[in-house]
Structure 1
Amino acid sequence: MDIPRIFTITESAHRIHNPITPEKLATLGAALRLESGARVLDLGSGSGEMLCNWARDHGITGTGIDMSRLFTEHAKLRAVELGVADQVAFIHGDAAGYVSDEKVDVAACVGATWIAGGVAGTVELLARSLRTGGIILIGEPYWRQLPPTEEIAKGCLATAIADFLTLPELLASFDRLGCDVVEMVLADQDGWDRYEAAKWLTMRRWLDANPGDDFAKEIRAKLTSEPVRYATHTRDHLGWGVFALMPR
């Protein structure tokens, strides 16, 4: 079980696998008013930066589940580096359908709602692990401005315009799911640039180190096209945020 190799190459140097910055991640932790000892479940935990930082800064305990062997190992190393290995655990596994044995204070899926077929399914899945009065965290893209054509939407790596909602539509969708939106932290332009542009140096370094690899042709093509694709499409059209929800 693992994620496609393209991600373990392009994001191998990332600590955060979405456009949120470390500063925004800290803002989110403070905004949630996390208390020492709070239990957090993170489905699609990536390299563990959220759980590890919140364990250090707020004293939470937590469990992260991720399909990537590489990112899970990175998360375990990060926990040791920050001195929180006794507070957080990272499991290499499929987060789809995962329900915690013990109810948690925060149940999160930050950027991987595909695990339950989209936002609605992910909210339902997370709610199964949540204590009464707990908070669900959903990380999700939205259209900053609607693409004028399906071709431009595909340039944002969507399959169609219908893949994402505008920000007001996304917030309204949470209400229809029976949840109050109680906080949100949105990625900014710098966060997007850091997330996307950091991949380019990683790809170039990988190509220099692996010229004969069977995957080199695909990485070369991606490195050649990605800067212009991102600047032309994603940078102006796509937003991203983490939304805190409380079921009614």
Structure 2
Amino acid sequence: MDIPRIFNVTESAHRIHNPFTADKLATLGAALRLEPETRVLDLGSGSGEMLCTWARDHGIRGTGVDMSRLFTEQARQRADELGVADRVTFIHGDAAGHVAGEKVGVAACVGATWIGGGVAGTIALLAESLQSGGMILVGEPYWIRLPATDEIARGCLAGSISDFHLLPGLLATFRNLGYDVVEMVLADQDGWDRYEAAKWLTMRRWLDANPDDELAGDIRAKLTTEPERHATYTRDHLGWGVFALMAR
């Protein structure tokens, strides 16, 4: 079980696998007013930066689940590095359908709502692990401005314009599902640049070290086109944020 290898290559140097900087992640942790010993479940936990830094800064206890063997191992190494390995656990596995054995105070899926077939299904999945009065965190893209055509939407790596909402529409989706939006922290342009541009150096160094690898052609194609794609489409059209929800 693993994610497609190309993602393990392009994001191998990332600690945060979405458009958040470390400062934004810290802002989110502070905004949620996390109490020590709060149990946090993170589905699609990547390299574990959210759980590890919140364990260090707020004293939470966390469990992360991710399909990438590489990212899961990086998460465990990060826990050791920050001295929180006794507070966080990382599981290599399929987050889709994962329900915590013990109810948690915060259930999160930050940037991987495909695990539940979209926002509604992922929220329903997270709710199965949540204690009464707990909080759900969802990380999701939204349109800063609607693309004029589906071609532009595809340039933002969406299937079509209908894949995402404008921010008010996304907030309305949460309301219609029966949740209050109680906090949100939104990525900025620098966060998008850090997420996307960091891949380019990783790809170039990987290509220099692995010119004969079977994946080299795909990585070369991405490195050739991704800077212009990001500058042309993502920076002007696509936003991203983490939204904190509580059931009404």
TM-score relative to the length of structure 1: 1.00
Matches within 5 A, 1:49-198: 49-198=49-198
Amino acid at match of 1:44: G
Which residue is 2:45 aligned to? 45
Aligned to 1:29, the other structure's residue is in SS state helix
Per-residue CA distance 1:193-219 (angstroms, 9 max, x = gap): 000000000000000000111110110
1:88-147 Cα offsets, whole Å, 9 max, x none, are 000000000000010000000000000000000000000010011100000000000000
Query: What one-letter code is carried by the residue in structure 1 that aligns with 2:113?
Result: T
SS at match of 2:169: helix
Identity of aligned residues (%): 78
Report the CA distance between 1:6 and its aligned residue: 1.0
Please give the alpha-carbon distance, in whole angstroms, between the structure 1 residues aligned to 2:189 and 2:27: 16
2:36 maps to 36
Counterpart amino acid of residue 223 in structure 2: L
Q: Is the partner of 2:136 in helix, strand or coil?
A: strand
Q: Distance in 2 between matches of 1:188 and 1:101?
A: 36
Distance 2:102 2:5 in 1: 33
Question: Alpha-carbon deviation of 1:53?
Answer: 0.2
* CA distance in 2: counterparts of 1:214 and 1:58, whole angstroms: 44
Question: 1:230 maps to what in 2?
Answer: 230
The alignment partner of 1:122 has SS state of helix
Deviation beyond 3 Å, 4+ runs, structure 1: none
Tell me the distance in 2 between the aligned counterparts of 1:70 and 1:21: 21
Unpaired segments ≥5 residues, structure 2: none
Deviations 1:33-69 (A, max 9, x none): 0010000000000000000000000000010000000
Equivalent residue pairs, number: 248
What do the CA deviations read for 1:10-29 (whole angstroms, capped 9, x no partner)?
A: 00000000001100000000
In the alignment, the residues of structure 2 paired with residue 159 and residue 42 of structure 1 have an alpha-carbon distance, to the nearest angstrom, of 26
Three-state SS of the structure 1 residue aligned to 2:134 is strand
CA-atom RMSD in angstroms: 0.4
Q: Within 2, Cα distance between the matches of 1:221 and 1:157?
A: 15
